[in-house]
Amino acid sequence: MIRVFATSLETEGYRVFDAPSGQRALEEVRTRNPDVVLLDLGLPDVDGLSLVPLIRTHTTAPIIVVSAREQESDKVRALDAGANDYLTKPFSVPELLARVRVALRSRAHVGDSAATVVTFGDFTFDLEGRRLMRGDRPVHLSPTEFKLLATLARHADEVVTTNTLLKEAWGSAYRTRSGYVRVYMHSLRHKIEDTPTTPRYLVNESGLGYRLRTSSDDSAR
């Protein structure tokens, strides 16, 4: 299966280096400085989840976890440890390629000196100026709404866990108050989405958190 995905990535023009073990994966990350890391949790020598923070100490490259584990607790642990996305097996090659494209766009955006301005649809969100515009019309945000949207914008097209949103908007003491996020996301959607019940930009990742979707790639949802 790894070879199938590697071949598909190579066909799209990517250069692929594979690692059969966790130790080898760390060596590859340290020496290759990859643009994206695809991490399978089913490794022969270590639990893949334990590798996420170790990989993150060596690179800022997006980490996409691929795993047969469907438990929400594993997904949350991976994302909180520093992973940027999580794909549950089985998944298709086109979906994997779409996630890789989104990850690369996100990294390029973060590396841009203008990364404090994030665009999605006809919206422009200026984090430094604390201003959200729809075309030439300002959209008023409360302080809490701004904190939530700013956190999502800094990780545009990536899953941001509910724990992270709570910590950034309210502080560590509120990490068990997930209902707060739901209430304010409901409010944000009514200010941003044309159809709040079927959001285009503020996408819920069931059991995990939310994603600010700036990509037009439907398969990356």
List, for residues 141-155, the tens digit of each pLDDT value: 998 999 999 999 988
List, for residues 31-67, the tens digit of each pLDDT value: 888 989 999 998 899 888 999 999 988 888 889 999 8
Q: How is the chain split into domains, by residue range? A: 2-110, 112-220
Give 197 or 4, the one with higher predicted confidence: 197
Task: For 215, list phi and psi in degrees, rounded to 5.
Answer: -80, 150
The Cα 126–Cα 108 span in angstroms is 17
Burial of 159: CB neighbours in 10 Å, binned 0-12, 13-18, 19+? buried
What is the pLDDT, as a whole number, of residue 5?
A: 83
Say how many C-beta atoms besides its own lie within 10 A of residue 94's C-beta: 11
Q: What angle do CA 23, 55, 175 make, to 5 degrees?
A: 130
Architecture per CATH, domain 2-110, reads as: 3-Layer(aba) Sandwich (3.40)
Q: Which fold has domain 112-220?
A: Arc Repressor Mutant, subunit A (1.10.10)
Task: For 171, list phi and psi in degrees, rounded to 5.
Answer: 110, 160
**20: which 2 tokens?**
């059969």
Task: For 85, list phi and psi in degrees, rounded to 5.
Answer: -155, 165
Q: Evaluate if residue 22 carries a pLDDT over 70.
A: yes
pLDDT band at 217 (very low <50, low <70, confident <90, very high): low
Locus of tokens 């301005």: 117
Q: What angle do CA 25, 27, 31 make, to 5 degrees?
A: 120
Q: Evaluate if residue 109 carries a pLDDT over 80.
A: no
Beta strands in 1-128 (DSSP E): 37-40, 63-67, 85-88, 117-120, 123-126
Residue 131, helix vs strand vs coil: strand
The Cα 6–Cα 71 span in angstroms is 26
DSSP state for residue 5 in the 8-state scheme? H
Under 8 Å between Cβ of 50 and 41: no
Q: How far apart are the first and last CA of the chain?
A: 23
CATH fold match for the domains 2-110 and 112-220: no
Q: Evaluate if residue 93 carries a pLDDT over 70.
A: yes
List, for residues 152-208, the tens digit of each pLDDT value: 998 888 899 998 899 888 887 777 788 899 999 999 999 999 999 999 999 998 888
